A and B are shown apart, each in its own frame.
Chain A
Amino acid sequence: MNQNSIIFQLIEASPYPQILVTPDYPDFTVAYVNQSLLNASSISRDEVIGKGVLELSHRLFDKAHAESIISGLKQVLDEKKSNENAISINTKWKAKNEPLFNDKGELEYILRTASEIGLITNEGYKSIFKQAADAIFISTGEGYLLEVNDKACAMFGYSREELLTLHAKDLVSKDDLEATPLLLKDLPEKKSIVHERKAIRKDGSIFFISLSATLLHNGDVLTIARDITNRRVQAQALKQSENRLKAMFNHEPNCVKIVDKELVVLDMNAAGLEIIEAECESEIIGKEVLPLIAEEHRSSYSNAHLKAYHGTPSKVVFKLIGLKGGVKWMESQAVPFTDYKNNSKCILCITRDITDEKEANDLLKKSMERFELAASATNDAIWDWDKVNNKTWGNKRLHELYGRKNDTGYFNSDTFFPQVHPDDREELISRLNTALKNKAEKVSGEYRFKTSTGEYRHFFDQALIAYNDLGEAVRVLGAMQDITERKKSEEALLKSDQKYRYLFNNNPLPMFIYNFETLKIVDCNIAACRKYGYTREEFLELTIKDIRPVEKIPQIEKATSIVVKAGDFHQGVWEHMTKDGRLMNMEITNHIIDHEGELSALVLANDITEKFKASQELLKSNRRLKSSNRIAQLGYWEFDLASKKVSWSKELFKITQIGKNKKSVSIENCFKIIHPDNVETITNLLNQCIEKQQANESYFKLIWPNNEIRHIHAVIRISKVENNMVTVLEGTLQDVTERIEYIKAIEDQNEKFRKIAWIQSHVVRAPLAKIVGVANLIKQNSLSEIEKEELLTHLLDSSAELDQIIRDIVEIAEQVRIDANG
């Protein structure tokens, strides 16, 4: 490497355009170009170094010219000697190709020097010679100095005249000469020698130079020397550095390898061998690396390394399959590398095992993907504030809040706080600062935030604060939850609650709430206090047992021991007691509710004491009515014309002996029990009621199932009229059989009395009339004695007849009396 540096410096110092190439046919890779060439060609050094001359020539020149250049270089390679060829037939330039050998005599470089034909005149040459930056010596083939330049004088501390008296070996330290004699004798064969020497100045001081000795056509030797003392020191340091690097190479935990263009492994450190599961170097050195690369990654691996080979460092991640089948994820960084040992261009790769890292990364990536997904899916605005750099990442929702499309733009505290409502801003900042000051892990708050539409919306923001080792907050991650609708609902609920609270407190009906478990009264309204005679404070000290008479407490305990849930509803009439012991009949409506997290009952108490009394009276009245109906054998009915159903009752069953336990009976069944003599009458009666819409009544007979005939008094009235049409009739049926029979008995008795009267009229008066008639005739004087005798006989007979009749009458009267008394 030091040798190369000398060469590079010499080339750099040359006033002629020079290019140093490696002898790798057909590329002839450019190892170095000097400034003169760069000036002449208007190209940069980076464009040239590492590139092939063939490629470069084709780029810079025409085809014939390029082929000429390659041909000249090839000739040097083949013949191991210099040649000259014209650069272009159209130009005045010519080029000289010279082989440069290393200290082992191997062809290391080919130096191509261009010059204008005829340019290098003696004057020009002398001028260059004199002004050259390096020391230049021209000596005989034996080493006697013939000419030196100013730089040579300055370098060795001699005047030109003194130097021209010296031999080349006088300028080399004795120990160096003993170790390595002058090589001038080799020049005829090698034409050019490059090596380093330990030089000695006139004052005896030692310094190091690099020499490039070239055998001139006339047999003289041109030697260019450069002081490399500093570079030697640097080289030694470099050597040490190299040793260190070598040590590092060997002990580097990552795989360090050198591969050639075909990706054949030239060298690999111990760590690399372990990674690829090789027992020894022989298993990999000299072999292609691609079989160790997973098939799907071979293409990208090759491309990355070829790119590095051509000068561009590259990186590739791939899956490595070890020699024993182990699979690892690796990351390889490849850079171009020149192996000076072999004088070849190759690739240096540092490959590290990233399996764990990749797995972690994959997990992190998945986690991040999930986070991104969650962040994009949620309606919350997720933000991540890098407090150190005052930069905030936000999800799509945050961008929307700011009215930014395509997730562009940035956020930070300067963009955030101005959007917060002025009334909320100070408190929010205060909260955040307090949390940061107290090293709190979390901070949260509610505030109004002005969105892109200009509307202030309510947000609940909750954030996690991350601190570094020094306890400084470095990152705050939060989520803004839009609670505007909830706020509105809460406000509405508050208003509603206030409204219901007002309704509760001012309700004219007594209302109170008790805990369903403890039975303790937890709230009450004014009406309740008033009704029960307690102050509110006194009422809230009570349980619901305290407002009931002692004997009813077991009943209330039983009623409240049932399992209930919110939403249940119970209603009933209970006896309650006021503070002064007055009993009240209360209609209680229980709504089971969740009151401040406790299962409670909202009670609506309606005092129905008076109503209860009235209903009791009504009940009694109804019972009396039912009894009356039962006694009177009176049944009420309703006939719905549309359904042809007659509502039925127990009393009607007793009267008709049909429809037992039924609520209704069809009109057809009713007619079946009417005596055939009365069917038409009843039909007409009903029709008349319906048509004329007037009440009516009638007597009829019905036949019981046991064929007993009963006499019924029916009353029919209009119950309901719709659209001027009767739709419902109502009325009563009364069994009047006993009454009819009684009347008949009376009539029979009357008949008997009439019979007595008739007897009196006809039978009693008949003999009497005869007696009167006989008497009238006797009174006549015209009757004979015989006639008178006959009349007296009739008179006696009629008197006897009358006597018998009177006796009969007495007997009949006695019989009537007996019959009447049953």
Chain B
Amino acid sequence: MAKKILIVDDDKVIVFIQKRTLQINGLLADTLDFSNGKLALDYLKSQNEESCKYLVLLDISMPVMDGWEFLEAIQEEDFSKQLSVVMLSSSIDKADLLKSSQYSQVLTYIEKPLDAAKCSKIIELCKAK
């Protein structure tokens, strides 16, 4: 079963950091990045691989379509079951943590920056699902 990692963040530094960190920590799947939720959504709609699993590292604050809007948008989509979302945000607001837990696709909420320990946790969660 093929797996793809979608990094959805508008900050290139963060995208760089996340890609290098994933790479360093052994997550060598096909990694794609999108600067807002809308681009990621369009991509997912364009894919017809029902057997493919997607791990989405989703930032909240983005232009065009933020993280929350993206989560709302995928709820009615068939591919939503193929998605596992990790909220990866610089916000330490508990409201954001609480809100994210209301979406079934969200595995966890992780504060930036991504590091080795956080990568390990993601791998564990993905395995558990």
Q: Give the B-binding residues of A (Cβ under 8 A).
A: 757-758, 761-762, 765-766, 768-770, 772-774, 776-777, 780, 782, 787, 790, 794, 797-798
Q: Contact at B24–A780, with CB atoms within 8 Å?
A: yes
Q: Contact at A770–B93, with CB atoms within 8 Å?
A: no
Interface residues contributed by chain B, number (CB under 8 Å): 22
Query: Bound complex: CA of A674 vs CA of B14, how far in Å?
Result: 55
From B20, B112, B115, A766 is in contact (CB under 8 Å) with B112
Can you name the residue of chain B whose Cβ is closest to the Cβ of A776? B115
Known A765-B112, A780-B24, A782-B24: A773·B92 in contact at CB below 8 Å: no
Query: Bound complex: CA of A13 vs CA of B58, how far in Å?
Result: 196
A780: chain B residues at CB < 8 Å are 24
Known A762-B60, A766-B112, A782-B24: A773·B14 in contact at CB below 8 Å: yes
From B13, B20, B90, B115, A762 is in contact (CB under 8 Å) with B90
Most buried by A among B16, B90, B92, B115: B90
Known A766-B112, A773-B112, A777-B21: A761·B91 in contact at CB below 8 Å: yes
B13: chain A residues at CB < 8 Å are 770, 773-774, 794, 797-798
B17 within 8 A of A: yes
Known A769-B90, A769-B112: A774·B17 in contact at CB below 8 Å: yes
Q: Contact at B91–A765, with CB atoms within 8 Å?
A: yes
Within 8 A of A (CB), among B81-114: 89-93, 96, 111-114
A766: chain B residues at CB < 8 Å are 11, 61, 90, 112
Determine how close the nearest CB of chain A comes to the CB of B74; give it in whole angstroms.
Answer: 22
B115: chain A residues at CB < 8 Å are 773, 776
Q: Across chains A and B, which 4 residue pairs bring their CB atoms closest together, nearest first?
A: A773-B113, A769-B112, A773-B17, A765-B90
Determine how close the nearest CB of chain A comes to the CB of B42; give it in whole angstroms.
Answer: 25
Query: Bound complex: CA of A787 vs CA of B23, how far in Å?
Result: 14
Q: Contact at B11–A762, with CB atoms within 8 Å?
A: no
Query: Bound complex: CA of A766 vs CA of B112, how far in Å?
Result: 8
Number of A-B contacts (CB under 8 A): 63
A798: chain B residues at CB < 8 Å are 13
Known A761-B91, A762-B90, A765-B112: A770·B17 in contact at CB below 8 Å: yes
Q: Contact at B17–A777, with CB atoms within 8 Å?
A: yes
Q: Contact at B113–A769, with CB atoms within 8 Å?
A: yes
Query: Bound complex: CA of A524 vs CA of B13, how far in Å?
Result: 111
A770: chain B residues at CB < 8 Å are 11, 13-14, 17, 112-113
Q: Contact at B93–A762, with CB atoms within 8 Å?
A: yes
Most buried by B among A769, A772, A787, A798: A769
Q: Contact at B113–A761, with CB atoms within 8 Å?
A: no
Q: Contact at A794–B113, with CB atoms within 8 Å?
A: no
Known A762-B93, A765-B90: A773·B60 in contact at CB below 8 Å: no
Query: Bound complex: CA of A770 vs CA of B20, how far in Å?
Result: 13
From B14, B20, B93, B114, A761 is in contact (CB under 8 Å) with B93
Determine how close the nearest CB of chain B comes to the CB of A457; give it in whole angstroms.
Answer: 112
From A757, A772, A787, A790, B113 is in contact (CB under 8 Å) with A772
Determine how close the nearest CB of chain B comes to the CB of A778; give it in whole angstroms.
Answer: 11
Query: Bound complex: CA of A768 vs CA of B90, how far in Å?
Result: 8
Q: Contact at A762–B114, with CB atoms within 8 Å?
A: no
Determine how close the nearest CB of chain A comes to the CB of B15; give it in whole angstroms.
Answer: 11
Within 8 A of A (CB), among B10-64: 11, 13-14, 16-18, 20-21, 24, 60-61
Determine how close the nearest CB of chain B comes to the CB of A774; give it in whole angstroms.
Answer: 7
Query: Bound complex: CA of A304 vs CA of B67, how far in Å?
Result: 158
B93: chain A residues at CB < 8 Å are 757-758, 761-762
Query: Bound complex: CA of A50 vs CA of B92, how far in Å?
Result: 175
A770-B113, A773-B114 known; 13 new pairs, CB 8 Å cut-off, are A758-B91, A762-B61, A765-B92, A769-B113, A770-B11, A772-B112, A773-B18, A773-B112, A773-B113, A773-B115, A774-B13, A777-B21, A780-B24
Can you name the residue of chain B whose Cβ is closest to the Cβ of A770? B13
Determine how close the nearest CB of chain A comes to the CB of B22; give it in whole angstroms.
Answer: 12
Most buried by A among B11, B13, B114: B13
A769: chain B residues at CB < 8 Å are 14, 90, 111-113
Query: Bound complex: CA of A377 vs CA of B112, how far in Å?
Result: 132
**23 A–B pairs (Cβ distance < 8 Å), ordered by A:** A757-B93, A761-B92, A762-B60, A762-B61, A762-B89, A762-B91, A762-B93, A765-B90, A765-B92, A769-B14, A769-B90, A769-B113, A770-B13, A770-B14, A770-B17, A773-B113, A774-B13, A774-B17, A776-B21, A777-B17, A780-B24, A787-B20, A794-B16
Determine how close the nearest CB of chain A comes to the CB of B126; give it in whole angstroms.
Answer: 21
Query: Bound complex: CA of A782 vs CA of B23, how far in Å?
Result: 11
Most buried by A among B18, B60, B92, B96: B92
Can you name the residue of chain B whose Cβ is closest to the Cβ of A773? B113
Query: Bound complex: CA of A441 vs CA of B114, how far in Å?
Result: 148
A758: chain B residues at CB < 8 Å are 91, 93
Determine how close the nearest CB of chain B comes to the CB of A364; give it in whole angstroms.
Answer: 132
Q: Contact at B21–A773, with CB atoms within 8 Å?
A: yes
Query: Bound complex: CA of A581 vs CA of B20, how far in Å?
Result: 108
Query: Bound complex: CA of A761 vs CA of B96, how far in Å?
Result: 10
Can you name the residue of chain B whose Cβ is closest to the Cβ of A779? B115
B90: chain A residues at CB < 8 Å are 761-762, 765-766, 768-769
B96: chain A residues at CB < 8 Å are 761
B18: chain A residues at CB < 8 Å are 773
Query: Bound complex: CA of A757 vs CA of B96, how far in Å?
Result: 13
A757: chain B residues at CB < 8 Å are 93
Query: Bound complex: CA of A664 vs CA of B83, how far in Å?
Result: 67
A-contact 0/1 string along B106-129, CB 8 Å cutoff:
000001111100000000000000
A777: chain B residues at CB < 8 Å are 17, 20-21
Query: Bound complex: CA of A776 vs CA of B116, how far in Å?
Result: 9
Query: Bound complex: CA of A776 vs CA of B24, how far in Å?
Result: 11
Determine how close the nearest CB of chain A comes to the CB of B5; give it in whole angstroms.
Answer: 17
Can you name the residue of chain B whose Cβ is closest to the Cβ of A758? B93
Can you name the residue of chain B whose Cβ is closest to the Cβ of A775? B113
Query: Bound complex: CA of A790 vs CA of B12, how far in Å?
Result: 12
A797: chain B residues at CB < 8 Å are 13
Determine how close the nearest CB of chain B comes to the CB of A306; give it in whole angstroms.
Answer: 155
Can you name the residue of chain A whose Cβ is closest to the Cβ of B18? A773
Q: Contact at B113–A776, with CB atoms within 8 Å?
A: yes
Query: Bound complex: CA of A797 vs CA of B11, how far in Å?
Result: 12
Determine how close the nearest CB of chain B comes to the CB of A796; give it in whole angstroms.
Answer: 11
Query: Bound complex: CA of A747 vs CA of B96, how far in Å?
Result: 20
Query: Bound complex: CA of A790 vs CA of B16, how far in Å?
Result: 10
Determine how close the nearest CB of chain A comes to the CB of B115; give it in whole angstroms.
Answer: 5
Can you name the residue of chain B whose Cβ is closest to the Cβ of A757? B93
Query: Bound complex: CA of A116 vs CA of B11, how far in Å?
Result: 205
Can you name the residue of chain A whose Cβ is closest to the Cβ of B115? A776
Determine how close the nearest CB of chain B comes to the CB of A791; give it in whole angstroms.
Answer: 8
A794: chain B residues at CB < 8 Å are 13, 16
Query: Bound complex: CA of A773 vs CA of B114, how far in Å?
Result: 7
Most buried by B among A761, A768, A787: A761
Query: Bound complex: CA of A765 vs CA of B112, how far in Å?
Result: 9
B112: chain A residues at CB < 8 Å are 765-766, 769-770, 772-773
B89: chain A residues at CB < 8 Å are 762
Determine how close the nearest CB of chain A comes to the CB of B63; give it in whole angstroms.
Answer: 14
B113: chain A residues at CB < 8 Å are 769-770, 772-773, 776
Determine how close the nearest CB of chain B comes to the CB of A699; give it in whole angstroms.
Answer: 27
Query: Bound complex: CA of A766 vs CA of B113, how far in Å?
Result: 9
Query: Bound complex: CA of A104 vs CA of B80, how far in Å?
Result: 194
Query: Bound complex: CA of A768 vs CA of B92, how far in Å?
Result: 12
Determine how close the nearest CB of chain A comes to the CB of B95; give it in whole angstroms.
Answer: 9
Query: Bound complex: CA of A790 vs CA of B17, how far in Å?
Result: 11
Determine how close the nearest CB of chain B comes to the CB of A94; give it in whole angstroms.
Answer: 185
Query: Bound complex: CA of A798 vs CA of B14, how far in Å?
Result: 11
Can you name the residue of chain B whose Cβ is closest to the Cβ of A798? B13
Query: Bound complex: CA of A797 vs CA of B17, how far in Å?
Result: 14
Query: Bound complex: CA of A772 vs CA of B61, how far in Å?
Result: 19
Most buried by B among A761, A762, A773, A798: A773
B14: chain A residues at CB < 8 Å are 769-770, 773
Can you name the residue of chain A whose Cβ is closest to the Cβ of B12? A794
B16: chain A residues at CB < 8 Å are 790, 794
